Amino acid sequence: MPKFEGENLEAPHGEQPLHKKGKGKAIHVSDFLCETIGRLQLNEKQKLLEKMINISHEARVIMNPGTNNDSWWNIELLVQQIIDHVIPIFEATHPRVVAIFAFDNSTSHGAFSSDTLIANRMNVKPGGKQSKMKNTVFNGNVQYMNYPDNFPDESLHGKPKGMRQILHEHQLLKPGLKGFCKNKDSTDNQCSNRYSRDNCDYTWNGLQQIVFITLKHVSSSKIRAYARKSYRYMDAYRKVLNVKQAEYTVKKYKRHRIIPNNILQNII
């Protein structure tokens, strides 16, 4: 039996020492499901068609992330999967149909393009390591987020303006303005990070969620049942039910895609 002698691990002759266990290799599976065919993939007949030769047979991507292995899953890999696998397969299996993808993956929840308008990615002062953000519109006028190449100060040519300059251009800069609020619960608007975030004119386009599927035995019937349940929740919220009412209704009408129009009369 191996044992420690001080800081040294010693093992009897002929035995291997027991080393500290790590997390081992990780298996990451990124797959796509749809109500019509279950897992997004070509069937056996489609695989034999000549026009399908250059199309991946399935949308699933499997990798082994970790040290000295594959890289960790990120938004760039997700986008690559969608372009190279998901869209071609969907168009081949669902001609003349438009897809709406929903994703569930924590690394994608906060994923945005590099030029997205996000206040907490801005510096208070000009320049620095912050990314160059795209221009936006404020009160009907174009708001330029970066200095022009003909700006008098050559050191700022093409550099990000930063929070202070943006607020100054709109006469919103107040004395003692801080970049970030130390008290997260504070409602103090003397924080340029909070003020910029709450008053920015930008839209949420980057939300992407990815479904992890690791078990091949998930049947198409289960996938369809999940889709129908999602439809019922959506219909419940369209009918102005609150969270508890929606949960009760979804459980009661398990075999329906939508819930009755008079549902409020039945549960009040």
Closest by CA to 251, choosing from 240, 267, 238, 262, is 267
How much is the pTM? 0.48
Domain boundaries, the chain: 1-111+206-218, 113-203, 220-267
The whole-number pLDDT of residue 202 equals 41
Which residue stretches of 4-99 are H helix? 44-48, 75-81, 87-93
What are the structure tokens assigned to 214, written together?
A: 């690791």
Asked whether 90 and 40 are in contact (CB, 8 A), the reply is yes
Residue among 56, 27, 73 nearest 210 (CA): 73
Give me the pLDDT at residue 13, please. 63
257 close to 228: Cβ distance less than 8 angstroms: yes
* Antiparallel, parallel or unpaired: β 28-30 and 33-34: unpaired
CA distance 41 to 78: 17
Is 116 strand, coil or helix?
Answer: coil
**What does the alpha-carbon distance between residue 145 and residue 135 come to, in Å, rounded to a whole number?**
5
Each residue's pLDDT, cut to its tens digit, for the chain (268 residues) gives 555 555 566 666 656 555 555 555 677 788 888 888 888 899 888 888 877 878 888 988 888 777 676 777 888 888 899 999 999 999 999 999 999 887 766 666 667 777 777 777 777 777 777 778 888 887 788 888 888 888 888 888 888 888 888 888 877 766 666 655 655 555 544 444 454 455 444 433 333 333 333 445 567 777 788 888 888 888 888 888 888 888 888 888 776 666 777 776 666 5
pLDDT at 260: 74
Residue-level pLDDT at 114: 75
d(CA 261, CA 226): 22
Task: Supply 261's token pair.
Answer: 């129009």
Using DSSP, how many helices (H) and how many strands (E) does the chain show?
A: 9, 8
SS3 (DSSP) at 183 = coil
Task: Look at residue 215 in the predicted model and tell me its pLDDT.
Answer: 47
Residue 102: the pLDDT is 78
**Parallel, antiparallel or unpaired: strands 61-63 and 28-30:** antiparallel
| Three-state secondary structure call for residue 162 | helix
